Amino acid sequence: MSITDTAPAAVPPDTDTTPRLPARETWRALYRHFRPHRAVVALGTLLALFGTVAGLAQPLAAKALVERLGRDEPITGILLGLTALVVAGTAIQAAGSYLLERTAESVVLSARRSLVGRLLRLRLPEVERTQPGDLMSRITSDTTLLRAVTTESVVSAVTGGLGFVATLVMMALMDPVLLGTTLGVIVLIGGAFAFAMPRIAEATRRSQAAVGEISSRLERVFGAFRTVKASGAEARETAVVEAAAREAWRHGVKAAKWQAVAGSSVGLAVQVSFLAVLGIGGARVAAGTITVAELIAFLLYLFYLIEPVSALVQAVTQYQVGSAAIARIEEAERLEVEDAAPGPTGAAAAVAGTAAGAARGVAGGGRGPASVVFEDVSFRYRDDLPYVHRGVSFEVPGPGMTAFVGPSGAGKTTVFGLVERFYEATGGRVLVDGRDVRRWPVAELRGAIGYVEQDAPVLAGTLRENLLFAAPDATEEQVRAVLVRARLDGLVERLPDGLDTVVGHRGSKLSGGERQRVAVARALLRGPRLLLLDEATSQLDAVNEQALRDVVAEVAREVTVLVVAHRLSTVTLADRIVVMDGGRVRAVGTHEELVAGDPLYGELAATQFLASRGQGVSGT
């Protein structure tokens, strides 16, 4: 096929990453989706059979009608009967098809629900291994391919199978020799069919992988839309998405080709059988073994065979398509998830803590500041990556502010990832409140923590949704209080829709500094016992930075605050500073102690901190 010529070179070579499922596992997975609906599918099958029987009865009724006309008998009764038969037959068929379509939608719905439920609980390393866009396409696109295989194909298989066997029995009763001839041809051409089947599955699998690739590529583009534009990368990125679209097309066409081969092999089988039966049957008539009437009847049965065989072919083809989708769905289902979803309960409980604390936007949950201890922690993100932590140890009793400083890549942010248990330490222990984080229920652990990431993610939606994201049950007063603390009250007043202003995709309608403050407000509203603040390297203007620093200092009086610090003004406020370098803690102390005692810190203080937009250089 010439379409292969159009395959663009830009297609990433790794689109074909979906594992093929062994047949037994495919069956098992498909059965799992089908099982809850088996009663309805059985009913649908029954209705389909009734519909067929009603259809078969119509010619008989028509025959009776003509006969009565011939005998000059009244036909009103039979006409009414025939009409009723037609209406009933149609209604039964419509009901059956509605039932199956509805069930098909339900299969898709339950597959989507189960997949979404799992994907949002995935462990972080699993998400980092995959492409979010591709995962999305498994929920949106692949699940739709389950529709037919779990419903229509089951019905086709049953009705086709029954029809096939019944017709074969009738043929066997007529003339076993001619049946042998028929089956011989069918088996021969069935070979072509068997050849096409796995190719349909393979082409569908690759086509779906390419659809996943389209989603991944689009996600990448829209995730950095300004960068794409600023880099003048529109044409290149379009080409890449287009390449994936072509790839999907190419394999879609391939699947269509093999489906056509499979479909027409049925017609061919019947035609060739017809000729063979005609030849051999003719000889048998000539020899007087069978009568002409028997040969004609046999040939009629041969044509009856088309429908059940087509139904069987359809069932098997749909199974191939479905098996390709199920492999991708199963792969997503098998990604490792966390033990429990961090529900809103922790946050709600924390926000509902002490009234005084809540009014300040820091409830504290009534259990005081958390302590954090790292005991000889070693960690790497993956087995094939170098260690990021090589025996990190420090102790942070709450409350107070602890700053982590060190060169870029020293492993500072990783400390937060381990505290939040986004990742698990490879060696050593991470303790929060003296308890190993692995022994904490994840929801409870994270319920105690407020986390402000360095890039301060803001989600699409309104400002209010963003603030309530980590504390859905916070009251209006708590929201207002936190807005004042994060110096967002002025902004909210300026906005025509106030808190209900839509902030755009990833908060693109807010300034960088505003996003930062929204992220801080969100974390504070959670009422954390432990605040993890990954300081932005820039973003805040002097006034707001000072204000936020005051807030953090205030919070640190009753909450444990860990800051990855990029500003001198922050470290000078810290009760203790942990200096990290190359995955180790090289020194712990106050700013003054470290300036005097640690050369790396002295250098950082003199260069890196001052180079940032940090205010409050008075510390030097």
Ligand X SMILES: Nc1ncnc2c1ncn2[C@@H]1O[C@H](COP(=O)(O)OP(=O)(O)OP(=O)(O)O)[C@@H](O)[C@H]1O
Q: Which residues bind ligand X (CB under 6 A)?
A: 128, 381, 385, 388, 406, 408-414, 564
Q: Please, what is the angle between helix 76-119 and helix 152-174, to 10°?
A: 130
What is the end-to-end Cα distance of the chain in Å, rounded?
Answer: 73
Residue found under tokens 């016992």: 529
> What is the rounded CA–CA span in Å between residue 193 and residue 264?
9
Shortest distance (Å) from residue 23 CB to ligand X: 36
Shortest distance (Å) from residue 586 CB to ligand X: 13
Nearer Cβ to ligand X, position 323 or 612?
Answer: 612
- Do the Cβ atoms of 363 and 354 come closer than 8 Å? yes
- Do the Cβ atoms of 47 and 93 come closer than 8 Å? yes
> What is the rounded CA–CA span in Å between residue 406 and residue 581?
6
Nearer Cβ to ligand X, position 382 or 494?
Answer: 382
Nearer Cβ to ligand X, position 250 or 412?
Answer: 412
Shortest distance (Å) from residue 548 CB to ligand X: 19
> What is the rounded CA–CA span in Å between residue 198 and residue 261?
12
Residue 106: closest CA among 158, 138, 144 = 144
Nearer Cβ to ligand X, position 304 or 381?
Answer: 381
Whole-angstrom CA distances from 346 to 181, 313, 428 are 73, 54, 27
Residue 334 burial (CB < 10 Å; 0-12/13-18/19+)? exposed
Residue found under tokens 């990021």: 388
Shortest distance (Å) from residue 409 CB to ligand X: 4
Shortest distance (Å) from residue 343 CB to ligand X: 25
Shortest distance (Å) from residue 388 CB to ligand X: 4
Residue found under tokens 């596992």: 25
Nearer Cβ to ligand X, position 411 or 507?
Answer: 411
Question: Is-cis flag, bond preceding 407, omega within 30?
Answer: no
Nearer Cβ to ligand X, position 369 or 406?
Answer: 406
- Do the Cβ atoms of 336 and 123 come closer than 8 Å? yes
SS3 582: coil
Nearer Cβ to ligand X, position 582 or 616?
Answer: 582
Nearer Cβ to ligand X, position 133 or 346?
Answer: 133
Nearer Cβ to ligand X, position 349 or 564?
Answer: 564
Consecutive H or E run containing 52:
helix 38-70
Shortest distance (Å) from residue 413 CB to ligand X: 3
Shortest distance (Å) from residue 530 CB to ligand X: 18
Shortest distance (Å) from residue 580 CB to ligand X: 6
Shortest distance (Å) from residue 564 CB to ligand X: 6
Whole-angstrom CA distances from 326 to 66, 101, 131, 201, 605 are 52, 19, 18, 11, 56
Nearer Cβ to ligand X, position 467 or 530?
Answer: 530
> What is the rounded CA–CA span in Å between residue 525 and residue 513?
18
- Do the Cβ atoms of 326 and 146 come closer than 8 Å? yes
Nearer Cβ to ligand X, position 468 or 564?
Answer: 564
Shortest distance (Å) from residue 451 CB to ligand X: 14
> What is the rounded CA–CA span in Å between residue 515 and residue 19?
40
Whole-angstrom CA distances from 58 to 70, 86, 167, 217 are 18, 7, 19, 55
Consecutive H or E run containing 580:
strand 576-581
Nearer Cβ to ligand X, position 388 or 401?
Answer: 388
Shortest distance (Å) from residue 406 CB to ligand X: 6
Nearer Cβ to ligand X, position 29 or 564?
Answer: 564
Nearer Cβ to ligand X, position 27 or 387?
Answer: 387
Nearer Cβ to ligand X, position 48 or 415?
Answer: 415
Sheet strands side by side (includes 584-589)? 449-452, 530-534, 560-564, 400-405, 576-581, 584-589
Whole-angstrom CA distances from 472 to 344, 358, 368, 467, 554 are 7, 14, 22, 8, 24
- Do the Cβ atoms of 203 and 317 come closer than 8 Å? no
Q: What is the DSSP string of 121-164?
A: TB-HHHHHHS-HHHHHHHHHTGGGGHHHHHTHHHHHHHHHHHHH
Shortest distance (Å) from residue 126 CB to ligand X: 12
- φ and ψ of 187, to 5 deg: -65, -40
- Do the Cβ atoms of 429 and 421 come closer than 8 Å? no
Name the residue type at position 221. Answer: V
- Do the Cβ atoms of 394 and 578 come closer than 8 Å? yes
Shortest distance (Å) from residue 449 CB to ligand X: 17
Shortest distance (Å) from residue 128 CB to ligand X: 5
Shortest distance (Å) from residue 537 CB to ligand X: 8
Sheet strands side by side (includes 372-379)? 389-396, 372-379, 427-432, 435-436
Nearer Cβ to ligand X, position 407 or 616?
Answer: 407
SS3 20: coil
